[in-house]
Every structure is written in C-alpha cells, then in structure tokens.
C-alpha cells in the first residue's frame, strides 16, 4: 500500500538533480556527490539522504526543512516512492 508519513524518507532522483542546470540546486547536487563518495554508492539512480543532512542543507538555503522539500519538489528532483519509480 501507499504510505504518506510526514517523516518518510527523502530520496533524490540523481539523474534529474545532476542534469538540472539551475543554480538553485548547486549545493544539493554537491552534497549528494559528497554523500555518494562517503558511502561508495556510485551506481544508484536514486539516493536516500539523512533527515539530519536535509536540516543542514536547509540552513544553507536559509529555509526550513519543509521549505527545502517544497523547493526540491518544484524542481522535480524528489522521488516520492522509490519502488514505484523503478517499476515505471
């Protein structure tokens, strides 16, 4: 079934994130690359990130965590349901 917890995992669509030319996402993209490096997770199309890291990133964007999520959603770089994402 489809769940809609407010605390659901933050999953980034890496292809979209790295293709997006927007200056607005430059720090998110840099952060995601750093996390991939730390994990040795290079081959994924998506990346799950820590709630703590979203909070830190929100500060960089002078936004609240939910404000940053809204922005990421507007840019279409969030994956709502990674399993559905791979099924499509």
Does the footprint of ligand C2E cover residue 82 (CB under 6 A)? Answer: yes
CB of 42 to ligand C2E, least distance (A): 8
CA distance 68 to 71: 5
CB of 31 to ligand C2E, least distance (A): 9
Instruction: Spell out the SS3 assignment of 39-74.
Output: HCCCCCCEEEECHHHHHHHHHHCCCCHHHHHHHHHH
Site string for ligand C2E, 24-63 (x = CB under 6 A): -----------x--xx-x--x-xxxxxxxx----------
CA distance 74 to 65: 14
What 8-state DSSP symbol labels residue 78? B
Does the footprint of ligand C2E cover residue 11 (CB under 6 A)? Answer: yes
Residues of the shown chain interacting with ligand C2E in the complex, contacts defined by CB under 6 A? 9, 11, 35, 38-39, 41, 44, 46-53, 82-83, 86
């Amino acid at each position: 079934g489809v769940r809609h917890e407010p605390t659901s995992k933050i999953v980034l669509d890496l292809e979209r994130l790295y293709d997006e030319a927007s200056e607005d996402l430059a720090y998110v993209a840099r952060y995601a690359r750093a996390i991939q490096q730390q994990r040795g997770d290079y081959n994924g199309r998506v990346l799950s990130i820590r709630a703590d890291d979203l909070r830190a990133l929100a500060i960089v964007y002078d936004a609240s965590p939910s404000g940053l999520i809204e922005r990421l959603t507007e840019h279409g770089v969030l994956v709502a349901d990674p399993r559905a994402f791979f099924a499509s």
